């Protein structure tokens, strides 16, 4: 599986962590709601800076109140830092229980097709249909996932050359294009 360097956070250290650590990328996706996407994807680096590294097992084992405090301390990992801290810990527990702490098991365990990976993603705490499809598209477009039918399972987010979600952000220009797409989609929805 060939993956590319992730450039979603638009910050070298944060993007290096997202590229190197699958759980960090999953956490970034978890935080990507009601918050600017590049800031959401900087959240894992903030956690790493405050914990002296980014480790799924340490996150899962952290005292919940202390982890909430760490996540909510300015600059917080999200505008709802405490509730998102709980969600991140839930995610760490889930990956630990179901994939032995190996996040890539979501898309690699048992050589799954796109439909199966979508099903696995939808089972994650805090992942609905849309978030699961976007993350599946991100796996296919940037992490080298080639499971049969991934583009179909990802729906419109899997379209080649689209600029509709974080899955399509590879640099500052594509981030701007995705923002513009979202702005137009919001305006069109409002006009209905």
Please, what are the domains in the chain?
12-191 (1.10.340.30)
pTM of the model: 0.95
Question: What tens digit of pLDDT does each residue of 33-47 get?
Answer: 999 999 999 999 999
Torsion sign over Cα 163, 167, 171, 175: positive
Rounded to an integer, what is the distance from CA 41 to the centroid of its chain?
Answer: 7
Q: Is the pLDDT of residue 2 over 70?
A: no
C-alpha to C-alpha distance for 7 and 4, rounded to whole angstroms: 9
Question: What tens digit of pLDDT does each residue of 106-142 get?
Answer: 999 999 999 999 999 999 999 999 999 999 999 999 9
């Amino acid at each position: 599986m060939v993956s590319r360097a992730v450039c979603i956070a638009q910050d070298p250290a944060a993007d290096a962590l997202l590229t190197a650590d699958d759980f960090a990328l999953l956490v970034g996706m978890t935080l990507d709601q009601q918050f600017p996407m590049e800031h959401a994807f900087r959240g894992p680096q903030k956690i790493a800076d405050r914990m002296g590294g980014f480790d799924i097992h340490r996150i899962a084992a952290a005292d919940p109140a202390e982890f909430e405090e760490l996540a909510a301390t300015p600059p917080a990992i999200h505008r709802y830092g405490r509730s998102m801290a709980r969600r991140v810990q839930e995610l760490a527990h889930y990956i630990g229980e179901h994939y032995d702490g190996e996040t890539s098991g979501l898309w690699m365990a048992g050589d799954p097709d796109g439909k199966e990976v979508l099903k696995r993603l939808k089972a994650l705490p805090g992942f609905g249909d849309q978030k699961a499809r976007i993350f599946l598209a991100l796996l296919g477009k940037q992490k080298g996932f080639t499971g049969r039918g991934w583009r179909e399972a990802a729906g419109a987010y899997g379209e080649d050359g689209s600029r509709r979600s974080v899955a399509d952000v590879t640099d500052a220009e594509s981030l701007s294009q995705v923002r513009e797409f979202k702005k137009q989609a919001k305006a069109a929805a409002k006009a209905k």
